[in-house]
Amino acid sequence: MLETGIKGQQSEVVTKEKTAMEMGSGTLPVYATPAMIALMEKTAMLSVAPMLAEDEATVGTRLEISHLAACGLDAQVRCESTLTEIDRKRLVFEVQAFEGETLIGKGVHERFIINTVKFMDKVNNR
């Protein structure tokens, strides 16, 4: 059952493919904002996935993120999410990313619970 307070945690290593230079979001070999955002979305999504019905999933609909500090190649990045609000099918998460104890990013992420079959029918019949 979904309830506020559900927490998630995921980690990744900054590889060349996750740098701003490689992702096209900047010119330096540092952890890219799009990579950090993807980790934040993944962390939130996985934290609630076990509580959903077999024909349900969540989709990201809103992000309000600040990227506060850079980190380089081979850095270990940890993301933590907390489900802070449930409004019917709308889920709101607080997300934070860390390199060690240093906060490198934070924000709010919104996801919606969807029926996967109905959702894909809409996408494919547009």
Strands (E), 2-89: 7-13, 56-67, 76-87
Domains of the chain: 7-124 (3.10.129.10)
Predicted pLDDT at 126: 87
Looking at every residue in the chain, the average pLDDT score rounds to 98
Nearest Cα to 11, choosing from 42, 33, 34? 42
Predicted pLDDT at 113: 98
Question: Is the pLDDT assigned to residue 1 strictly greater than 90?
Answer: no
Nearest Cα to 42, choosing from 59, 55, 19? 59
Per the CB < 8 A criterion, the answer to whether 42 and 119 are in contact is no
Distances (CA, A) of 82 to 26, 30, 32, 61, 125: 29, 26, 23, 17, 35
In angstroms, the CA 113 to CA 90 distance is 7
The pTM (predicted TM-score) of the whole model is 0.96
